[in-house]
Amino acid sequence: MKKVLVLILLGLGLAWVITYDHTTKSVNKSASNKVIPVKIAEIQHGSIELIREFTGTLEANSQFIVSPRISGRIKKLQVDLADMVKSGQVVVELDDAEYIQSVIQAQANLEIAKADLIEAENLFIISQRKLRRIEKIQKRGLSSESQYDAIKSEQLTQQAQVAITKAKLTQAEAILKISQIQLSYTKITVDWTGGNLSVAERYVDVGANISANTPLLRMVELNPITAVFFATERDYALLQPKQLVAITTDVYPAITFHGNIERIAPVFNQNTHQARIELRIVNPKLRLKPGMFVHITIVLEKIANATIIPTAALTTRNEKSGVFLLAADEKSVLWHEVQTGIKQAERVQIIGEKITGKVVILGQQLLDNGSNITLFK
């Protein structure tokens, strides 16, 4: 009886194993034949750009402080805050009364020096005539050596006096020139070879007594204007002088300003590990002002004939990046490993082997190599 019972149990177990194996195979077969709905997109071939966005600030293209070369009292301010100034324009006038008197006195001293020179030259001519006469008389033996020496000494004295008065005349001319220059300094002008300037700050008021080199006005050039940002090592190598840039601001969000890279710093800041980049931005209507924050867009790289797929097509299998390509029968998919390049918006470049056809962009999380699919829009 025990043997019969054992045989019955073994038979029941074998029947269960056979039934389970058959059921499992049926389930797996059903799963492998399962049709998964997916959405697809065309693989494109065209241009793609590597675009970077930075934030920066605006700085004046050029700026300097207007200050006087002489001391005095401010008589008139010709410009004020935000006024536009042209090169050579008078911006501040100092009280010039004392300097005018200095010029008049210097002119008078010059006239005196000219008169002294004429007198000295006439006396020298007279002394020369005396010397010639005494020389003739001496040849006849009618004059003594002492008489000759006295007249010769007088002639040399008058010759030296001519030289002294000529030097005094030169000195008087120089003093007059200095006085005239100082008088011209009472009208303070903006000497500038660039474009028009704007008054950024005014430091003084009319009536103030100032000394030489006292700051009066700060002038800035606004067209063109300079935009500054700092680049990391990742982007630094892709930046080149003359690259085109686009600028937007929070003040004028609907307006795009254009320019180019002007200067790239040859060193990185040791603390931030970033390099200073300066942009030249055209600003004809002077909307952009120093101190504004700006958003900077630069195309760092452009590929003219690239293989491009939607970013949504990328997926991962076995820790490798790839896509599911639509098979020729359009009823199944094939797994294809890819290497990506430039990403632009919702598109990404595929580098290396070129692929064509269509890729799955929705439903790929349920797919494996060879999965059956159905298309939906």
Q: Structurally, what CATH architecture does the domain formed by 54-61+223-303 represent? A: Beta Barrel (2.40)
DSSP secondary structure letter of residue 195 = S
> Domain 68-93+187-215 class?
mainly beta
- CATH fold for domain 34-48+305-375: 2.40.420
Query: The pTM is what?
Result: 0.68
281, 259 contact by CB (below 8 A): yes
Parse the chain into domains and list their residue ranges: 34-48+305-375, 54-61+223-303, 68-93+187-215, 96-185
Query: In DSSP terms, which residues pair with 344 in a beta bridge?
Result: 347
Please identify which residue in the block is written with the tokens 């063109």: 224
CA distance 161 to 7: 156
Strand, helix or coil at 72? strand
Q: How far is CA 184 from the centre of its chain?
A: 36
- pLDDT score at 377: 65
Buried b (16+ CB within 10 A) or exposed e, 121-130: bebbeebeeb
DSSP assignment of 93-109 equals: EE--HHHHHHHHHHHHH
Please identify which residue in the block is written with the tokens 């699919």: 373
DSSP secondary structure letter of residue 112 = H
pLDDT per 10-residue tile (average), the chain, 377 residues: 46 45 41 81 94 96 93 96 92 96 97 95 92 81 78 91 96 97 95 86 96 96 95 93 96 95 96 96 94 95 93 93 94 94 93 90 93 88
- pLDDT score at 33: 64
